[in-house]
Amino acid sequence: MKRIRPTLAIQFIRNMKFTAIISALTATSVAAFAPSMGGRSITSLDAAVVYFSTSTGNTETIAEYIAAAASIEVEEIGDASETEIVAYDGLIIGSPTWNTGADEQRSGTTWDDFLYSTLPNLDLEGKNVAVFGMGDQQSYMDNYCDAAGELYDLFEAKGCKMFGLTSTDGYSHLESKAQRDGKFCGLMCDEDNQYDLSEDRAKAWVEQLKSEGFAF
């Protein structure tokens, strides 16, 4: 039987090892870089996000309370891309109310353009959505957190599943466009008059959302 010369055998083994290494590196590279293709990757670990817009910083404060309690990211809605928004399974959205008494564009923030220019073009059917709002019960007791009601109505009209209605107990407003069937359409906070209650309200609301099946 003809023997293979040692030099050829060694070369054959080296070629086999090289091929195996290249295959492993290729598979690793694909796994590492594939999630980043097409923009930010949304995984089951960050299936929800908090979007807000603010004028004085109060809405951002509440957004951060909620994000911390839920261990999720928080972002200004004006900085979010359409691709990113539709990639999430759940959206927690919040705004202040500045255009009191208005039928639309009540927030006086980036939300006003988003709701009427961007939202109509997004496919959000079946997304989980929860709303929070900011208001001043003493100075604007007839229009407390009106913009939250606008967020609720427009996202619900897009086929979203709405979560997180809360009791009106403990508030001193007179009227609000954010009320639905005797309840608020989400979490309402007043950093002007009840700032000491806001963080605990946010934590309790996040727990309520979890009990309702809102996935974080």
Question: pLDDT digits over 148-205, tens only?
Answer: 999 999 999 999 999 999 999 999 999 999 999 999 999 999 999 999 999 999 999 9
- Which domain covers residue 18, as residue numbers? 6-36
Residue 46 confidence class, pLDDT cut points 50, 70, 90: low
Residue 1 maps to a domain: no
Whole-angstrom CA distances from 164 to 31, 102, 180, 188 are: 37, 24, 12, 11
User: Which pLDDT score is estimated for 101?
Assistant: 83
**Based on the structure, what is the number of domains in the chain?**
2
For residue 21, pLDDT over 60 is answered with: no
pTM of the model: 0.79
Residue 61 maps to a domain: yes
Mean pLDDT of the chain: 85
153 and 119, same domain (yes or no): yes
- For the stretch 37-56, what's the b/e string if a residue is b when 16 or more beta carbons lie within 10 angstroms of its beta carbon? eeeeebeeebbbbbbbbbbe
18 and 100, same domain (yes or no): no
For residue 16, pLDDT over 80 is answered with: no
CATH of the domain at 70: 3.40.50.360
